[in-house]
Structure formats: C-alpha cells, structure tokens
Amino acid sequence: MSKRELSRRGVLKTGALGGAGLALPTIFTASSAAAFTNEPTGGTVTLGFNVPQTGPYADEGADELRAYQLAVEHLNGGGDGGMMNTFSSKTLQGNGILGKKVEFVTGDTQTKSDAARASAKSMIEKDGAVMITGGSSSGVAIAVQGLCQEAGVIFMAGLTHSNDTTGKDKKANGFRHFFNGFMSGAALAPVLKNLYGTDRTAYHLTADYTWGWTQEESIAAATEALGWNTINKVRTPLAATDFSSYIAPVLNSGADVLVLNHYGGNMVNSLTNAVQFGLRDKVVNGKNFEIVVPLYSRLMAKGAGANVKGIHGSTNWHWSLQDEGSKAFVRSFGTKYGFPPSQAAHTVYCQTLLYADAVARAGSFNPCAVAEALEGFEFDGLGNGHTLYRAEDHQCFKDVLVVRGKENPTSEFDLLEVVEVTPAAQVTYAPDHPMFAGGTLGSCNPGA
C-alpha cells in the first residue's frame, strides 16, 4: 500500500495543469471552430431586437416589438404565416431558420446612442445574438450599425430615415429596408408642384441632428429644382418643446410654405404650434400658406390630432394599402393585437423575414454569407411592390407613399390617406450621389 502525500506545490502544479487542460478546448473553439461571431450550435438561433422601450419613442418601440414577435411566430410556423405567404422568395418553410427554432432577446435603446450600443453589445456578448435589428432614430441606427460592424454581426436597421445611414455612415454589415430623406424629397416634389405650383417660398424648421440635416438638404434640393426659393433654414434643438418662438418669425418672413423637418414629439408640437398661429389660414404672396411634413408616422399623426388634416408628407408604408402582402400583414397583426400596424412595425417585420430568408438562401448564419445573399436581392410581396436591396449601399429601393392627413377620419387609426404611390424608379439615385458621399461600405466582418 503506497502512501501519497499532498504538498502545496504539488496541488498548485496539478491545478495549473488541470486548468490549462480545461481551458484548451475553449481556446481552440474560440480561435478556429467558430467561423463567425455567435455561430448557432444548438437547436435554436437568437435574434436581438433593440427597440426604444422607454423614452419618447416607447410607443413606436412597443409596436416594433409586436411586429418582431409576430415575425418570430411566423418563422417558427405559428399563426397564419403573415407575409411569408406573399413573399416572392419561398425558402422559408415555417420551421425556424435553417431548421433552428428562432428565439429572441430584447434591448432598450432609450433613443440614446450610448444606451442603444450598450444594449446591443449585451445582446451580442451575453445572449449570443447572431443578428441585431431595430431602432426608431437615425442617430441610434448609425451608432448600433457601427457596433455591429465591429462585432461581426448583421444589423438590420429599423426606422431610420437619415441619408447618412446608407450614405456616409454605411457599413458592410448593415442593411436598411426603410426609405430615406432623399427618397422623401423625390417622391414629394412632383406632388407639391401639382398642388402648390413652382413659384413658392419655403421656410424650413429642422431638428438639429443627422436625420434633420439630411432631410432638410434633400427636401430643399428637391423643391428648389421645382423653382421654389428657400428663404430660411432654422435648426431647432432636439429637446425643444414649445416651437412658438420659431414659428413667430415665419409669420413675417415672406414664406408661403413651412417645411417641418421634425419627427416624433418635435413634429407633434411644431405642427400644433404652426396651426395655432393660424398659418394654415394665412395668405402670403397671394397664395394660401401651406405646411409640409416630409416624414409622416401614423403614431405621431395621432398625437397631432386634427392638425394633420390636409397636410402632405411621405411614409414608407401604410396599413390601408391593398396589395396582397400589406393585406396579409394587416390581417395577421390586427387579429393578434386589435389595431393596425405602424410603418415602424412593418419595416422591422420585413427586416426579420429578409434576414431569415437570406440565411436560408445562403445556407449559413455567417454574416458575410448573409450579406452576400442580401446584396442585389430582388423581391416582392412585402407590401412595397418590387424591391431591390442594392449591393452598393445596402439600401432598399421600392415605392414611396405620399400621404395626406385625412379630413374625415372614420376611426382613430384612419388618420392618413395615400395620395400617390411613387414608383421606385422615381426615387432611385446613383450610389455615388453627392448627398450620400463620404463613406464606404468596407468589407464584411464575420467576427469571431
């Protein structure tokens, strides 16, 4: 019978060897077995939904989250399938993505870039999200897109309308389904020309951040091309609540059109203030004074109430569209939640399906394979007509809606009416257009 004695040195040596042995497989897995960040290995795949759950856009974020949950349900074979039934690509079978059941985690962007990056980082590093999607602000979208590029995951942007998202700040791992400021200008200009003529003087009030700047530039360029004169462009703080001191100078400025480059609470308040000051009843230069809200949202229009009546703007999608895809989505969403979806809900639902479909077509969750599948992808049946995911800038090109505040709404949802569906060709621009210059996609980053 042998006797073995334990010494402190011996325990340390054994511990060190054992630790190294245990660590070896992890190091090995991390360095070469995983081809890309958060490669799904089990029977599930996790998607990260990063939406404003608190803060001023929380209602919009809640609608996005509803749409994401609906998309996950449809991808996993639940519900009525929604737009999966009308989507031109038929690779999705309702058995998850590549046979893996879709699960999700959520983050709260708070509509703050730093908070949004922190929640996206947490979902990638702690929850193993293989794709991040969502947002209701261009500042947030650009910040999270940059993070996803560094982390090596795909970012499917939610509601972001700044030209910069797929312009100077575009990234190889980022994709945008939503339209942008340039497209709003291109869609609105002909309608404004028909309604208000070519001899107009415009005054811009603009939210002082990336989205406001690019929309102002786009709308001013589009209307000046019609022959309109832009008399002033005033930047308003994002935190402004009472716009009366910005509206008052408009009264004596000689302008006969006020363009409100505002969104969310800013739009609700500036439009309410403009109507309060009697701008809509004013006659300037022998013409009726007009107000234009280039980016409309039904949720925000509700906040502005009767003030939106007769006011024109543009939108990415509206529940009253009568194509099969829109009808399927409205039926599916409305039956589940009791009210029609917003444009934010629509775009994030589409993004989720488009990501899943790209994975299925690529046969891999590798972000570079997914990006390749999305680049140049042409599809239909998702509510916007024939659509192209352009390879050069990862921007979707599709029809844009020009809408008007409805004079006699029949319900609390019936606030906007579509006055024109502008064909995609009319809003398409060259990849090297000056308004989108200054950045490059770079190369896809698979991470790991």
Task: Please identify, among the stretches 214-222, 227-235, 288-296, 423-431, the one whose residues bind another protein according to the rule CB under 8 A.
Answer: 227-235
| CA–CA dist 433, 317 (Å, integer) | 25
Contact between 237 and another protein by CB under 8 A: the answer reads: yes
Contact between 81 and another protein by CB under 8 A: the answer reads: no
Smallest distance from the beta carbon of 107 to another protein, in angstroms?
17
Which two structure tokens, joined as six digits, stand for 446?
């698979």
Contact between 257 and another protein by CB under 8 A: the answer reads: no
Residues 379-418 that bind another protein (CB under 8 A): 410-411, 413-414
- 253-290 burial, b at 16+ Cβ within 10 Å, e below that, comes to eebbbbbbbbbbbbbbbbbbbbbebebbeeebeeeebb
| CA–CA dist 143, 445 (Å, integer) | 16
Contact between 85 and another protein by CB under 8 A: the answer reads: no
| CA–CA dist 48, 103 (Å, integer) | 9
Task: Please identify, among the stretches 26-34, 142-150, 233-241, 363-371, the one whose residues bind another protein according to the rule CB under 8 A.
Answer: 233-241
Contact between 58 and another protein by CB under 8 A: the answer reads: yes
Contact between 316 and another protein by CB under 8 A: the answer reads: no
Smallest distance from the beta carbon of 252 to another protein, in angstroms?
5
Residues 291-310 that bind another protein (CB under 8 A): 299-300, 302-307
Smallest distance from the beta carbon of 7 to another protein, in angstroms?
55
Per-residue x/- track, 355-384, another protein (CB under 8 A): ------------------------------
Residue 442 main-chain phi, psi, to 5 deg: 75, -165
What is the edge-to-edge ordering of all strands in the sheet holding 101-108?
Answer: 101-108, 44-51, 131-134, 154-157, 174-176
| CA–CA dist 344, 341 (Å, integer) | 8
Whole-angstrom Cα Rg for the chain: 25
Query: Would you say 254 and 231 are in contact if contact means Cβ atoms under 8 Å apart?
Result: yes
Site residues for another protein per CB under 8 A: 55-59, 232, 234-237, 239, 241-242, 244-246, 248-249, 251-253, 265, 268-269, 272-273, 276-278, 281, 299-300, 302-307, 319-320, 330-331, 334-335, 339-340, 410-411, 413-414
